Structure 1
């Protein structure tokens, strides 16, 4: 299973400091990176009513939990509706629509319910609301690439969207999103038989996740690199992915089938 993008972490910190620099932001990241989404969301909840962007960040955490665990969909939906109701600017409404499209996409590709039309409509609405230079466009382009690849089966459109997202993530210094764009561009390269390009992209994705301490996303990155690695390296990478998968109590759930032989 592929196609699990990062939830956007941008937005005003609860104590008014720069994005990502506050003790709250650092605590949320530590919990999120270890798959403790409920605890991370609980830290944001007291600030959600006063800050629409924080309400959306909380919703994004719960959507990400659903993607990794294939559970908790109703709670993610409730949190997203709460965030949507508090969005007051075009940027806020656009970011909320992007998250709405993401939730619908995840439910579709994980086989929970076919919400493909909702995903397309919500991402289209986000594109109409977010200006071309908005920071949220990078994540929007990435998610439109996911829909193109995994729902529309249009790898050319997906590649173009991933490349736009990759360039924007570079410009906005968003390394976690870069780890996802590297991974999905590499996946398309592997699909085309471009092994060297695929290995490079998967290796970059893994490197970034290890540097960030994004533990919950490291096993999928190892498994992806194994798919493009020589046989002797692939076995080692899958064994390490399986070890981390067990350490994370079988999350992400969709990775299990890929790691059966390495268990």
Structure 2
């Protein structure tokens, strides 16, 4: 199961205390609390950030769809320019993607349309473009079952995240490129990508994303390291109250060949 990326670490060059608090809550899976901190801030940017948090909550927990839709409509209404409208469309596409892959409701066409609209609105060098490329990769991989298209999109996102110094998004692109490598039997490449993803998430303190990174790396490692990694992933998963909800099925070792 793929999960979402909202770019950035939640801190700013000015070390905004509010953004630091939002990041700390988000990184521990407390999306509702993080979004509540932004309620006092007016304007399109705050509405978009709040929406992104609520959309991420949906994909990690399978819950909160109504609140995310409400936040998204507010962000769309407050959008002031093409960057805002493109970012809102990107979040709508991600929410529709989440609904589809979690089998809540098939919204695949809506996801494609929304991300296509975002692509038309965001300039090629816009800060939000790498995240859009990553999400188009998710659609290609998990809905269209087109790994080559997904790989191209992930590579664009990876290059963009590097150019924009976005380490969290890089942790997602490393992980998903590694997943495609594992699918192709390229174990060394997969192991490297999963390890980079895990390293970045540990350095950022992105706790809610660390258990999935550990479990992914376990799939590319031999025993006994694979068992150790899954045990650590399970510990974190339980510590966070079973979040992300879709990870449980990935914490068991693969069935032995017969």
TM, length-normalised to structure 2: 0.95
Corresponding position of 1:214: 206
Task: Tell me the equivalent position of 1:70.
Answer: 62
Cα distance in 1 between the residues matched to 2:166 and 2:197? 13
1:29 is the counterpart of 2:23: yes
Cα distance between partner residues in 1 of 2:93 and 2:156? 18
Gaps of 5+ in 2: none
After TM superposition, what 4+ stretches of structure 1 lie above 4 angstroms from structure 2? none
Q: Which residue of 2 aligns with 1:6?
A: 5
The match for 1:83 among 75, 78, 83 is: 75
Deviations along 1:218-253, one digit per CA (max 9) or x if unpaired, are: 000000000000121100000000000010011111
Q: Where in structure 2 are the equivalents of 1:45-56 lying within 5 Å?
A: 45-47=39-41, 50-56=42-48
**Aligned to 1:71, what secondary structure does the other structure show?**
coil
In angstroms, what is the RMSD of aligned CA positions? 1.6
CA distance in 2, matches of 1:261, 1:221: 15
**Aligned with 1:106 (options 98, 102, 126):** 98
Is this contact kept in 1: 2:92–2:111, CA < 8 A? Answer: yes
Provide the residue aligned with 1:165 in structure 2: 157
Q: CA separation in 1, counterparts of 2:26 and 2:102?
A: 21
1:39 equivalenced with 2:33 (yes/no): yes
RCO comparison, higher one (Cα < 8 Å, 6+)? 2
Report the Cα distance in structure 1 between the residues aligned to 2:47 and 2:154, rounded to whole angstroms.
27
SS in structure 2 opposite 1:230? coil
Cα deviation, 1:46-68, whole Å, max 9, x if unaligned, reads: 11xx2201101001101111111
Alignment deviations for residues 167-199 of structure 1 (CA, whole Å, 9 cap, x no partner): 000000000000000000000000000000000
Alignment TM-score, normalising by the size of structure 1: 0.94
Q: Give 1:88-237 correspondences, 5 Å limit.
A: 88-237=80-229
* Contact 2:90/2:132 (<8 A) preserved: yes
Equivalences for residues 236-255 of structure 1 within 5 A: 236-255=228-247
Alignment check: 8 A CA contact 1:84 1:96 kept: yes
For the 8 Å contact 1:144–1:158, the answer to whether it is kept is yes
Structure 1: segments with no counterpart, 5+ residues: none
